[in-house]
Structure 1
């Protein structure tokens, strides 16, 4: 049975709100003092920062997909009943990865909460189809390949002395040496990097596990080899990217002209793919080359060199060992297999 539209007179345009603050303050008494108005404005400003921009972009895309599905099937998207949500999640089982399915559920929930609409993700009509879809999922999840040092050298070797070559070389080496996520890499500002005799100090203003915005500092020492030294690569890039403020890594036009605008996070993946193609680098096995390859590669290479877990975690800013150890275990699936101890 097709859901009926809501009976309330409230307008629902099917758009996910930009932030929760857009739906706040409607019931406030009109006789606020200036101090009260300032307090409310401050609360709304903080509410806008409750969801990171990257997450909000993903949620908006997910909501658009859900609304389009409802339009095709005849369901009303808001307020969504558990049965409708369960049907939508079931439709994703064959074509979408489990992480995408879970994120789309979160996006629908976020839209409803932002609009003060009823939402119960624990309802059986949602959870039972969700579990069944995930359990019977036919697609293996592709993990990010670990970019090893030999592979990194191959990529860097394709970077010439042009503006694009210098930028890409600095981006790859700093991203690897600092074990940065793609969002952290493109968010770096010129004044987030301090250079001294020992190397670079990077200021990470906010990361995936630092939604409170406490920030962190990461040290990147000078490399032993000129071609893979992140400090040398940074100096070469700054030699032509002479701005003293703004994004560290900026877009470059077709004529090798350095622009003023920073790079999109997905540009890191595109640069990796472009350099891999130039180097003739082929990723073997079940893995895929993604922007996360820089971070995963640092972890696996550091572990192989005998760096202690706690030192790796301090550098990568992992809160728990489980995720980090997962990368290490995958890297040693064959070499550390107990089957190697058998007389086969």
Structure 2
């Protein structure tokens, strides 16, 4: 076999490019792939609106700089004839942008990260690595900095959870919602993606009859892979609620939590993250609480907040929550009112 000349060795063939793209797809979490897809749609629409053509590979530095400038200011203050405002209005009409207001810095960061990832997939240099573009992004981030908003207005602590569980009526829908709420809270405060990704095969009930235990193998989390995620456990009422759902829905394999049809039958596909969101909101409303009081993340923050209220050591709670950062988990403990902190009762 004749070796390729050095110039050819540094260039990817079409087959190499396809193989590299396939490798990225197979090695990237599904949620990230969906975010990439949404961002590519937005980037393509923005570039066609502003420059009249699809993205180029590699992209020009001037295009990257313009993207930052168009997303680092309130475009409502511009004259209606300004191209940046006209492009934004076109994106609003297309349903790709909500308003002329300056997007959140995190939104811009994510889209830039996606654009850079597309370049990496093609083994190309990213224009966002250019010194001028990097400096503009840093300045834009500082200029648009906002106080960090909580993912859930209020943590769903034990008393609030009990109010929501009380609304879970007899029947398949109530049985499912009860199982989801208890699982999402008692297993350590699970994220929506972790709940929706579970399959029946991930649940081990060998010790349920003897000890009322259900062992759970999460497929993956934000901080771990399937190979590194430890087993988690449900016990008592939460384990019984999970088994009640499995039995009622006759789930032998496939997705664990599923939508329920209008006729009252569980569907074969898994429930979505939006489905979890709607369950939490509906149960809040049925409990006589404001819908905006909490979101699904309130199950996660509520578990850690309740652990702090009950005096559970943070390292013990983190073994279930699987937080990678002690500082991040500590924030929930810091939010507990001092007068409820058990350390204030050391002499009582």
1:203 corresponds to 2:208: no
User: Is contact 2:202-2:218 (8 Å) kept?
Assistant: yes
Q: Tell me how far apart the structure 2 counterparts of residues 137 and 314 of structure 1 sit (CA, whole Å).
A: 36
Of 194, 203, 220, the residue aligned with 1:184 is: 194
Which residue of the partner structure matches residue 63 of structure 2?
84
Which residue of the partner structure matches residue 5 of structure 1?
none
Extract unaligned runs of 5+ from structure 2. 1-11, 73-100, 342-348
Q: Tell me how far apart the structure 2 counterparts of residues 203 and 211 of structure 1 sit (CA, whole Å).
A: 11
Q: Tell me how far apart the structure 2 counterparts of residues 318 and 102 of structure 1 sit (CA, whole Å).
A: 23
Q: Is the helix fraction higher in 1 or 2?
A: 2
Q: Tell me how far apart the structure 1 counterparts of residues 65 and 125 of structure 2 sit (CA, whole Å).
A: 15
Of 65, 69, 72, the residue aligned with 2:42 is: 65
Q: Tell me how far apart the structure 1 counterparts of residues 166 and 300 of structure 2 sit (CA, whole Å).
A: 20
Which residue of the partner structure matches residue 298 of structure 1?
303
Extract unaligned runs of 5+ from structure 1. 1-22, 29-39, 223-228, 337-344
Q: Tell me how far apart the structure 2 counterparts of residues 98 and 329 of structure 1 sit (CA, whole Å).
A: 26
Q: Tell me how far apart the structure 1 counterparts of residues 21 and 63 of structure 2 sit (CA, whole Å).
A: 32
Count of residues paired in the alignment: 293
1:119 corresponds to 2:126: yes
The structure-2 alpha-carbon separation of the partners of 1:256 and 1:131, relative to structure 1 and needing over 3 Å to count, comes to same
Q: Tell me how far apart the structure 2 counterparts of residues 44 and 67 of structure 1 sit (CA, whole Å).
A: 19
User: Is contact 2:305-2:333 (8 Å) kept?
Assistant: yes
Q: How does 1:41-190 map to 2 (within 5 A)?
A: 47-74=24-51, 76=53, 77-78=55-56, 79-93=58-72, 94-137=101-144, 140-145=147-152, 146-178=155-187, 179-190=189-200
Q: Tell me how far apart the structure 2 counterparts of residues 24 and 214 of structure 1 sit (CA, whole Å).
A: 35
Q: Tell me how far apart the structure 1 counterparts of residues 325 and 195 of structure 2 sit (CA, whole Å).
A: 22
Q: TM-score, normalised by structure 2?
A: 0.76
User: Is contact 2:194-2:221 (8 Å) kept?
Assistant: yes
Q: TM-score, normalised by structure 1?
A: 0.76
Which residue of the partner structure matches residue 307 of structure 1?
312
Which residue of the partner structure matches residue 32 of structure 1?
none
Offset of residue 139 of structure 1 = 5.0
Q: How does 1:18-29 map to 2 (within 5 A)?
A: 26=15
1:256 corresponds to 2:252: no
Offset of residue 243 of structure 1 = 2.1
Residue deviations 1:216-261 (CA, integer Å, cap 9, x gap): 2001221xxxxxx212211321231112111110111112211111
User: Is contact 1:158-1:279 (8 Å) kept?
Assistant: yes
Q: Tell me how far apart the structure 2 counterparts of residues 205 and 233 of structure 1 sit (CA, whole Å).
A: 21
Offset of residue 27 of structure 1 = 5.1
The structure-2 alpha-carbon separation of the partners of 1:332 and 1:129, relative to structure 1 and needing over 3 Å to count, comes to farther
Which residue of the partner structure matches residue 287 of structure 2?
279
- Larger deviation: 183-192 or 210-219? 210-219
User: Is contact 1:155-1:275 (8 Å) kept?
Assistant: yes
Residue deviations 1:245-299 (CA, integer Å, cap 9, x gap): 1111011111221111111122211211122222232378xxx633222111111
- Larger deviation: 111-120 or 100-109? 111-120
User: Is contact 2:309-2:336 (8 Å) kept?
Assistant: no
Q: Tell me how far apart the structure 2 counterparts of residues 283 and 335 of structure 1 sit (CA, whole Å).
A: 26
User: Is contact 2:105-2:145 (8 Å) kept?
Assistant: no
Which residue of the partner structure matches residue 85 of structure 2?
none
